[in-house]
Chains A and B, each alone.
Chain A
């Protein structure tokens, strides 16, 4: 059985600011990030769908201690965004002073999306784009 939407395809599309997900042909649910099967009904009968990248911030944190090799990135904000199509997805939040980021200024706010590429390290088997959100 072929994997419908691989990380390689997802990564390539996200580098063009396209967020790809999967629409279940059985139950209609949207799955993102991609899996072999529908996140709701576990059917593998899925079709690729381009998502809007818009949604609402569900939670966040401002990171001050970086993993090895990513020290220049701090401070950075990680968010979990509830996309309009249903699934939650992890990404970063930009265009806000990390010192200003708080529950009141970030959670519940609408966001729009571009991308940023993690160029990879010796362990990662290549690079990886992630959603880069900003307050809409």
Chain B
């Protein structure tokens, strides 16, 4: 298998409801990625796109074919990936394997979504489709409810009093807002205090409004190339050195592991093994903070802190820039935003920019050489882990 690098990246701003179509958003991000790679549309051999809810949000299926045509790549193989919120990470891993195998030299990977445009009731209904439609949805399962149940189970499993856990969860959100405030591409750029979080609307006990990420519109795109091609295009290739992916059945089927998400541990194990790295080697990590509790659970399964202890790490600043590992310097799903199908590709874009030292200085992880992305779909149904390293 050959080495594969990210050559260029492009992202739109992540936002609330806006009027550009999915194809238009993807096209803008794609052209930025191509220009940043000194490539033309005709150089791209295949397109890999994450888009989950285009059918519901704007009555647009098969967006990848229209996107390819729209940017001047008519005729290339164009595939759509669906792994709920992990869709474009799934697409990235897949594209990586095609290039590593030698089948392609240069491909375009990304994601697009108009989750905000759908409005909250339809978004809540469609997000529930990532749970089991026969054995979970009849109970009225929603995304906040899933993580709310995990939060209560975290309390009883690790004997962390609920009041303390809620403070730790609030700190996760406050930190994300602090970093996202300086991210020009972020959806929610605001200063939020611990008190604001703890007083916000109770969505599903114990998860409150400010524990929850927004629905967002947006697109993110990367150019992947083989090492030989990448070194001709850029003097700062960022190599994908580890990938991992896993799947799972409904929440109840994960009974032996909850509140841990087993699929994440399987995906991370693959990625660490492939790269030969350990948790302590990771300088920065964009992990799946759809809800603040999800950050605590993720960080532990990724090996950064012991089970039941990551909340203390957040409170001590160990999970921030300047700490043990910088978690979500972009502001995460919480502040940067969550355009479902685009989120994973957005996380990779962020790590690439961190390793190249080109993000806003207030949120730059100084000297970052190795980064990780962690993306979760559904109630642990899909998990993708990607490790990236400087190639210079």
Is A39 on the interface with B (CB-CB < 8 A)? yes
The prevalent SS among residues of B at the interface is helix
11-53 of chain A: CB within 8 A of chain B: 11, 33, 35, 39
* B152 located at the interface, meaning its Cβ lies under 8 Å from any Cβ of chain A in the complex: yes
Q: Give chain A interface residues in 80-136, CB to chain B under 8 Å.
A: 80, 82, 87-92, 101, 103, 107-108, 117-118, 121, 123-125, 128-130
A58 beta carbon closer than 8 Å to chain B: yes
Q: Given the complex, which residues of A lie within 8 Å of B207, measured CB to CB?
A: 61
- A91 CA / B140 CA spacing, docked (Å): 9
B153 CB–A CB distance under 8 Å? yes
CA distance A123 to B201 in the complex (A): 29
Q: Are B255 and A88 in contact (CB under 8 A)?
A: yes
Partner of B204, one of A65, A124, A125: A65
In Å, the complex CA distance between A71 and B142 comes to: 12
Contact B138 A128 (CB under 8 A): yes
A70 to B162, CA, bound (A): 29
Cα A13 to Cα B365 with chains together (Å): 57
In the complex the two chains form, is A80's CB within 8 Å of B140's CB? no
Q: Is the CB of B124 within 8 A of A123?
A: no
Please count the residue pairs between chain A and chain B whose beta carbons lie under 8 angstroms apart in the complex: 124
Name the contact of B137 in the complex, choosing from A35, A60, A65, A118 (C-beta under 8 A). A118
Chain A residue, CB-CB nearest to B136: A90
Number of A positions contacting B (CB below 8 A): 43
Q: Are B251 and A90 in contact (CB under 8 A)?
A: yes
Stretch of B8-16, B127-135, B368-376, B380-388 lying at the A interface: B127-135
Query: Known: A58-B153, A59-B156, A88-B255. Contact between A68 and B121, CB under 8 A?
Result: yes
Max chain A Cβ within 10 angstroms of own Cβ: one of B121, B138, B202, B249: B138
Query: Is B145 an interface residue when CB atoms closer than 8 A count as contact?
Result: yes
Residues in B whose Cβ lies below 8 Å from that of A68: 121-122, 124-125
Known: A66-B124, A101-B205. 6 other contacts (CB 8 A): A67-B125, A80-B153, A82-B255, A90-B135, A90-B252, A121-B125
Which residues of B are at the interface with A, using a C-beta cutoff of 8 A?
A: 120-122, 124-125, 128-129, 132-142, 144-145, 148-150, 152-153, 155-156, 162, 201-207, 249-253, 255, 258
